[in-house]
Amino acid sequence: MARTQGSHSDITGPKVRDTALRLFAQHGYAAVSMRQIAREVGVQVGALYNYTPDKQALLFSLLKGHMDELLSTWEAEPRPDGPRDRLEAFVRFHIRFNLDRPQAIFISYMELRNLAPENFAVIEAQRKVYEGALEAILRDGQSEGVFSVPDTRLASYALIAMLTGVNTWYRAGGRLSIEEVADIYWDMVRKSVSAD
Amino acid sequence: MARTQGSHSDITGPKVRDTALRLFAQHGYAAVSMRQIAREVGVQVGALYNYTPDKQALLFSLLKGHMDELLSTWEAEPRPDGPRDRLEAFVRFHIRFNLDRPQAIFISYMELRNLAPENFAVIEAQRKVYEGALEAILRDGQSEGVFSVPDTRLASYALIAMLTGVNTWYRAGGRLSIEEVADIYWDMVRKSVSAD
DNA sequence: GTCTATACTGGGATAGAC
DNA sequence: GTCTATCCCAGTATAGAC
Smallest Cβ distance to A192: which of B30, B154, B192?
A: B192
CATH class assigned to A53-192: mainly alpha
- Chain B residues close to A181, C-beta within 8 Å: 154
**Interface residues, strand C, Cβ cutoff 7 Å:** A 6-9, 11-12, 42-47, 50-51; B 32-36, 45-46, 49, 53-56
The per-residue pLDDT for A8 is 76
Where residue A28 falls (left for φ over 0; alpha for ψ -120 to 50; beta otherwise) is: left
The per-residue pLDDT for A9 is 72
Contact A26/B at CB under 8 A: yes
Smallest Cβ distance to B154: which of A157, A184, A193?
A: A184
The per-residue pLDDT for A10 is 82
Domain ranges, ordered by start, for chain A: 1-52, 53-192
Supply the mean pLDDT for chain B.
95
A10 versus A127: which is more confidently predicted? A127
pLDDT at A45 over 90: yes
| Share of residues in chain A with pLDDT > 90 (%) | 94
Confidence of residue A7 (pLDDT cuts 50, 70, 90): low
Question: HSE (CB half, 13 Å, CA atoms) of A125?
Answer: 8
CA dihedral A55, A57, A60, A66 (to 10 degrees): -100
Closest amino acid to nucleotide C10 (CA–C1'): B33
Contact A167/B at CB under 8 A: no
Report the distance from CA of residue B30 to the C1' of nucleotide C10 in Å, as an integer.
13
pLDDT at B95 over 60: yes
The per-residue pLDDT for A4 is 41
* Secondary structure (DSSP) of chain A: -PPPTT--HHHHHHHHHHHHHHHHHHH-GGG--HHHHHHHHTS-HHHHTTT-SSHHHHHHHHHHHHHHHHHHHHHHS---SSHHHHHHHHHHHHHHHHHH-HHHHHHHHHSGGGS-HHHHHHHHHHHHHHHHHHHHHHHHHHHTTS---S-HHHHHHHHHHHHHTHHHH--TTSSS-HHHHHHHHHHHHHHHTT--
CATH class assigned to B54-192: mainly alpha
Strand, coil or helix: what is B9?
helix
The per-residue pLDDT for A1 is 36
The per-residue pLDDT for B9 is 73
Neighbours of B150 (CB within 10 A): 13
What is the length of chain A? 196
For the residues A107-125, what does the mean pLDDT come to? 98
Q: What is the pLDDT of residues A73-88, one digit of tens each?
A: 999 999 999 999 999 9
CATH superfamily of A1-52: Homeodomain-like (1.10.10.60)
